[in-house]
A = this chain, B = another copy of it.
Amino acid sequence: MSTATEPVFKGWAGLDAKACQGNLDFQSFEPKKWDEDDVDVKILYCGICGSDASALSGEWGPVDGVCPQVCGHEIVGEVVKVGSSPENGLKVGQMVGIGAQCDSCRECVDCKNHEEQCCPKMVITFNSPFARGNGKGSISRGGFAKYWRGPSRFAVPIPDELDPALAAPLMCGGITVFNPLEHYGAGTKAKNIGIVGVGGLGHMAILFASAMGAKVTAISRSEAKKEDAIKLGATGYIATGDDLQAAFAAHARSFDLIICTSNPPEFPIADYIPLLRPRGVFCFVGIVPKPLEFGLFPLVMSSAHIAGSNIGNPDGIARMLKFVVEKNIKPWIQRWDMDEINKAMPSFVNGDPRYRFVLVNTDNGGKM
C-alpha cells in the first residue's frame, strides 16, 4: 500500500427531499471499508448530472431510507492511496475519473467480458451497498465530497493532455452518449444522426457524433438552442414546436440513429419512428417515467429498433477519453466552487447549465 495524503471523508449530504433547494449539509461520512483493490482519490472536480438531482429530490423513490445521501458521479481527482492489487495500473499521483458505476460482481459473463455496465449486480456510485470483500454492505458515497474511495477498476486514468475539469462531465454524461454512438457506428454505419435534446448529454452527443464524421441534426422544442447546436457541430436543426408530425414531415426516413437525451414525463415515440431509416435505431439513454406506447406497423415495415443504452464500461470510458484528446473535444462547462454547491444545485435544477456544471474543490487543487 502506498499513500500520499491521509484522506478525510467529508461531503455535501442530502438529508431530505429539499436537498436540491440549497439544503445540502457538509458533514463527515464513513467511506467503504478498505479492500486491497481500492483507491482513495482526492476529488478536484465533480460534474452535476440530472440523476443527482433526481435522487436527492426523491424522484427515484422516497429519500427517507437513503439519507444522508452523498451524490455526485462525474468525479475527477488524484489518486492518494493505492492498495496492494490495483487495477488499471493505478499509482499514487495519477489523475483518474469515476462515473456512475463504482463496482460490479466480477463473476458474471458480462463482467468477464469486461462489459461491467451490464452486470446485473452493478453498484452505482452513491446510495448503493457494495457486495464484495471487506466493503460488503458499505454504502457507496459519491463525488460531492473531498475524497472518494472505491474499486480501482472503476477509476479510469485521465490522459495528461486533457483538462481534468473537462473530463468530469464525460464520466457519466459523456460515456452515456459515446457508448451508443460508438456501438451503432456513428460516422460509418450511422451517417445521419438525430440528437433529441440539447442539454448536458445532448451537447456532448453533438460534439462526439460530428467529430465521428456523422451528419448531425439537433432536435429541440424551440429555436432557442439552434445557434449553440450549430456551434457544437450540428448541421441540421429541427424545432419541433407542439406539432411533431408537422415538424417531422420533411424528415421522414432520414436518420440511421436517433439518440434521445431528453427525459420528459412522457415521450411520444410513435411520432419519432417515421424519422428512422430502415434498420434505424431510436435509442433512449435516460428514463422516461411513463411507459412508451406505439403501434407495431411502422416499426415492422421499416425494420426499425427502439433501444435503450446504459452508461458504458471502464474500457469504453478510456476509449472515449482517448477520442476526446485526439479530436480536441471540449464540453461546454461552467465551474462552481464546490463550497457553493447550495447555490449551484438550485441553479442546475432551474435549467441554467450551458451545458454542464462542474464543481471545483479549490482546496484540493482544482482550478476555477
Binding site for B on A (CB under 8 A): 110, 115, 117-118, 120, 183, 253, 270, 278-279, 281, 284-288, 291-297, 299-310
Contacts of A287 in B (CB 8 A): 296-297, 300
Q: Which of B270, B284, B297, B304 contacts A299 (CB 8 A)?
A: B284
B281–A118 touching, CB < 8 Å: no
Task: Tell me which of B110, B288, B293 contacts A291 (CB under 8 A).
Answer: B293
Nearest B-chain residue to A252, judged by Cβ:
B120
- Bound CA span A296–B295, Å: 16
Q: How far is the CA of A37 from the CA of B286 in the complex (A)?
A: 50
Chain B, residue nearest A176 (CB):
B300
Nearest opposing residue in chain B for A297, CB measure: B287
When C-beta atoms are compared, the residue in chain B nearest to A267 turns out to be B296
Given A110-B278, A253-B120, A288-B296: A307 in contact with B310 (beta carbons within 8 A): no
Instruction: Please state the number of chain copies in the assembly.
Output: 2
**Contact call A302/B310, Cβ cutoff below 8 A:** yes
Looking at the assembled complex, report how far the CB atom of A33 sits from the nearest CB atom of chain B, in whole angstroms: 27
Give A102 Cβ to nearest chain B Cβ, in Å.
16
- Do B303 and A299 touch (CB < 8 A)? no
Rounded to whole angstroms, the CA-CA distance of A148 and B117 in the bound complex is 54
The residue from B285, B295, B299 contacting A300, defined by CB atoms under 8 A apart: B285
Q: Which residues of B contact A284 (CB under 8 A)?
A: 296, 299-300
Checking B253, B279, B308 against A303 with a beta-carbon cut-off of 8 angstroms, the contacting residue is B308
A288 contacts which chain B residues (CB < 8 A)? Answer: 296
Known: A291-B294, A291-B295, A306-B307. 7 other contacts (CB 8 A): A117-B303, A118-B279, A286-B300, A288-B296, A292-B294, A302-B308, A302-B310
Query: A284 to B295, alpha carbons, bound, how many Å?
Result: 12
With a cutoff of 8 Å between Cβ atoms, the chain B residues found around residue A286 in the complex are 300
A291 contacts which chain B residues (CB < 8 A)? 270, 293-296
CB distance from A31 to the nearest CB of B (A): 27
Separation of A293 and B306 alpha carbons in the complex (Å):
12
Could you pull out 22 A-B pairs where Cβ atoms are within 8 angstroms? A110-B278, A115-B278, A118-B278, A118-B302, A183-B279, A281-B305, A284-B299, A287-B300, A288-B296, A291-B293, A291-B294, A292-B293, A292-B295, A299-B307, A299-B308, A300-B308, A301-B308, A302-B308, A303-B307, A303-B310, A305-B306, A306-B307
